[in-house]
Structure 1
Amino acid sequence: MLLILYAQKIANISHLTVNDVHINDGTVAITFGTSPIVLPVPLASLVRELVVTRRGKAEIDTPDDVPWLFPGGRPERPLGDDRIGQRLHKIGIRPRQDRSTALFPLAAELPAAILARMLGVHL
C-alpha cells in the first residue's frame, strides 16, 4: 500500500524503521521525507498492527530493539528490496509500473517541490 498510495520506492519502504511511524491520539502517520503523512484508517490500522507484530523472516522472534519496520533474517538488517519485490510480484503488484502510476495523481494535486519534500522524492 505504501508503494501504491504514496509512490514509494521499495528501497525506501524496506529501510523504514519504527521511529518513522508516529502513533498519536488515534492517528497514525509515517515519515518518508521530511514531513509525516497521516495514513487513512484502513492502512493506519495495518501499520499499527505491523509495529507490534513485526518479525524477521528467519528469526523465531524479533528482539524488541530491532528498528526495522520490515526486519530481515538478521536483526541488524532490514528485509531486502529483492525479497519485498518478489513478494509484491506474487500478489500481482508490479513495483515500477504501479509506482509510476501512483505518481501521476499525486503530481496533479500538489506542487512538485511540496510533493518531493513530503515523499522524499528528489527532483
Structure 2
Amino acid sequence: MTSADIQHEEGQVFLRLGADAVRLPPPLDELAQQLPEQVPAGMAGHLADADQWLFPGRRPGHPMDATGLAKRLRDLGIPLRAARNTALLQLGAELPSIVLADLLGIHISTAEAWSAAAGARWTTYAGSTR
C-alpha cells in the first residue's frame, strides 16, 4: 500500500484495497493519515520514491516485508494469531464458506471449518456447489 491508497472524501478517510475503498473509523483514520508522513530511517529515507510506501522497508523503494511487519505488531502488543483467528471466525459467521474460500484463497474445507466454528450453517446457500 502506498500513500496514494489513503483517500479523503467529504471529511472521511478511506483506504483503497484493490478496486474498493474502505472507510476508516476514528481513531484509525487519524493514524492512517500520519503514515505517509513517516520517512524511512537511514539511506532508505534519502532514496525514497515519490510514491511512498505506507510501511516502508529497509531497502529503498521496497515495502516492509511480512516478517518485519509481524515483528512490529508483536512489539506493540498486538497478538497476531488471535487477531487472525478472530477475523476468520467473524468472516465465517457472515459469509458462506464458498465465498470465504474464494475471497481469501483458502481451501473450501478450511472455510467450512471456520463457518462451523462460528456456528453458521450455509448448507442452503445457492452458490455452495462447485
TM-score range, shorter chain: 0.5 to 0.7
| 8 Å CA contact retained: 2:14, 2:24 | yes
Q: CA deviation at 1:55?
A: 1.5
| RCO higher in structure (CA 8 A, sep ≥6) | 1
Q: State the Cα RMSD in Å.
A: 2.7
Name the amino acid aligned to 1:24: E
Unaligned runs of 5+ in 1: 1-15
Name the amino acid aligned to 1:38: R
Q: C-alpha deviations, 1:11-55, integer Å up to 9, x for none?
A: xxxxx112222122211111224321101021001101212x122
Alignment of 1:4-83 (within 5 A): 16-51=1-36, 53-58=37-42, 59-60=44-45, 63=48, 65-83=50-68
| 8 Å CA contact retained: 2:2, 2:52 | yes
Aligned partners of 2:95, 2:45: CA distance in 1, in Å?
Answer: 43
Aligned partners of 2:19, 2:96: CA distance in 1, in Å?
Answer: 16
- 1:90 has 2:75 as partner: yes
Q: Which residue of 1 aligns with 2:104?
A: 121
> What is the aligned residue count?
104
| 8 Å CA contact retained: 1:56, 1:74 | no
Q: Report the CA distance shift for 1:106/1:39 in structure 2 as closer, same or farther (over 3 A).
A: farther
| TM-score, structure 1 normalization | 0.65
Aligned partners of 1:93, 1:71: CA distance in 2, in Å?
Answer: 20
| TM-score, structure 2 normalization | 0.62
Q: C-alpha deviations, 1:83-114, integer Å up to 9, x for none?
A: 1111112222232331121232244345664x
Aligned partners of 2:101, 2:52: CA distance in 1, in Å?
Answer: 25
Unaligned runs of 5+ in 2: 107-130
